[in-house]
Chain A
Amino acid sequence: MEEALKTIVQKYTDVKDWDEGYDMLCKFLDRIRVDKIQKSKMCIVCDEIYSNISRYAYVKKKGKIEMHFKFDTKNSNFTVTFVDSGVEYNPTKREIPDITKPLSEREPGGLGLFIVNNIMDSVEYQRVYGKNYLKLEKKIQTNQKFKEEVL
């Protein structure tokens, strides 16, 4: 019995690299037979975090982003952990944007992490030995065929 599927992707930060990260994520989610809606949501979440790290973690230097995907078949939890060696930044401490403001008072920005927090069940941040670890978890449904294949 395979209790957890695990794929680790290591990538260099650059917004243009998201295409490859996106492909890897889709392949992983296809492997566990996630439906289109849940897949899109996980893509949004990873897109937001990836672009955030790409833009802000490394100032005037090129660094790495690691994306670790894991699906636990015991509890149906999908986990993606982002690891980077950039500046310390805890996204869970970010101010929540006021989404009730009218259009004229809306400012661009701040919505990405808000969306992430709304979609995922848990978002945990840790700074360990000069690295940022952002662990995102979501219970997702896989179809019967996957369960029959794996369990």
Chain B
Amino acid sequence: MKIQELKQDGKYILSINGRIDTKTAPIFQGKLEEIINSTKENNETINLVLDFKGIDYVSSAGLRAILYVQKRINSMSGSTMILDNVNSTVMEVLEMTGFTEFLTIGTQI
């Protein structure tokens, strides 16, 4: 898994390539935690965009990381998180687990 960062038009875009699985999910979560912690320390807000265009699949370990990060983002007034360019396999997993009910998924970039 590779993560590329880009700050553009007030958005913090993370482009993820590969798979978010049992092995890579802690790295994915760690990166997001680092960004969120830095945002909180600076008393800022964040518009986080997770670009999933290069994602092969997300396992339940990845879902746990997304769940954790979304909870943290919700606790930060004015901050948002969007999952963008979600492929059909990832979307199916998000739908079957009910994650589409509380995640924002769309084409925002």
Contacts and interface: CB of A to CB of B under 8 A. Distances in A.
Interface of A: 15-16, 18-19, 37, 40-41, 43-44, 47-48, 50-51, 54, 99-104, 106, 108-109, 111-112, 114-115, 118
A81 B82 CA distance: 37
B17 to A, nearest CB: 14
Interface residues of B, number: 26
Contact of B60 (A50, A103, A115): A115
B57 A103 contact: no
Interface of B: 19, 21-23, 56-61, 63-64, 67-68, 70-71, 74, 88-89, 92-93, 96-98, 101-102
Contact of B61 (A51, A99, A118): A51
Contacts, number: 73
Contact of B64 (A19, A103, A109): A109
Given A40-B89, A41-B89, A51-B22, A112 B59 contact: yes
A111 B97 contact: yes
A98 to B, nearest CB: 8
A63 to B, nearest CB: 17
Contact of A37 (B21, B60, B71, B88): B88
24 contacts: A15-B23, A16-B23, A18-B23, A19-B23, A37-B88, A41-B57, A41-B92, A43-B57, A47-B19, A47-B59, A48-B60, A50-B22, A51-B21, A51-B59, A99-B97, A102-B101, A103-B67, A103-B70, A103-B74, A103-B101, A112-B60, A112-B61, A114-B60, A115-B93
